Amino acid sequence: MSDTKTPVPSQTPPHALAAPANQWPSFSALRGEIDRLFEDFWPGFGASQTPRRPGPLPGATAPAIDLTETETGYRIAAELPGMDASNVELSLSEDLLTIKGEKKEQTEEKKENYHLSERRFGSFQRSFRLPRDVDREKIDATFDKGVLTVLLPKAASAAAAEKKIEIKPGS
């Protein structure tokens, strides 16, 4: 038996703890992955590849969107805090539904010893390709307490076009 001892460093060198720069994906890459996952899950309702302009307001570049499907239609709910209906535009061009908005905020405070003036603004745009079964003539939108809700009813002919196919056992 030998009685040799190997020295153990008392501290881990700082470079050993640092992650390589390419190990952590950027937020845009993460968003791309989430968009791709959403498109895989709901292929007829994918967000378009329309670029978004970054703005100084947090959340102004991409509002939170909830998308749900029922037997009778689809529902899109966009969270737009601090905005009202006059700041939002909803348009339909062929099968592309687009939500656009712009928020401007300005505050000014004058006191005896100082003058504070702040301006913040930001805009966003989100587009969705509509599935073929949406009745484009009956789309309805409401805006209440900072939430835009768009109801997209399914056409009656879409429900009638669905057909169950019997599966027969093999011989």
CB neighbour list of residue 61: distance below 8 Å, 6 or more residues apart: 52, 53, 54, 55, 122, 124
Q: What is the CATH number of the domain that holds 118?
A: 2.60.40.790
Domain membership flag for residue 100: yes
Domain membership flag for residue 66: yes
Q: Is the pLDDT assigned to residue 56 strictly greater than 60? A: no
Q: Which domain holds residue 48?
A: 27-160
What is the C-alpha radius of gyration for the chain, rounded to an integer number of angstroms? 26
Give the global pTM: 0.55
pLDDT band at 123 (very low <50, low <70, confident <90, very high): confident
* pLDDT digit string, tens, across residues 146-167: 999 999 999 887 666 677 888 8
Q: What is the total count of domains within the chain?
A: 1
First to last CA, the chain: 74
Mean pLDDT of the chain: 76
Number of helices followed by number of strands (H, E) in the chain: 3, 7
What span, in angstroms and rounded, lies between the C-alpha atoms of 146 and 144? Answer: 6
pLDDT band at 96 (very low <50, low <70, confident <90, very high): very high
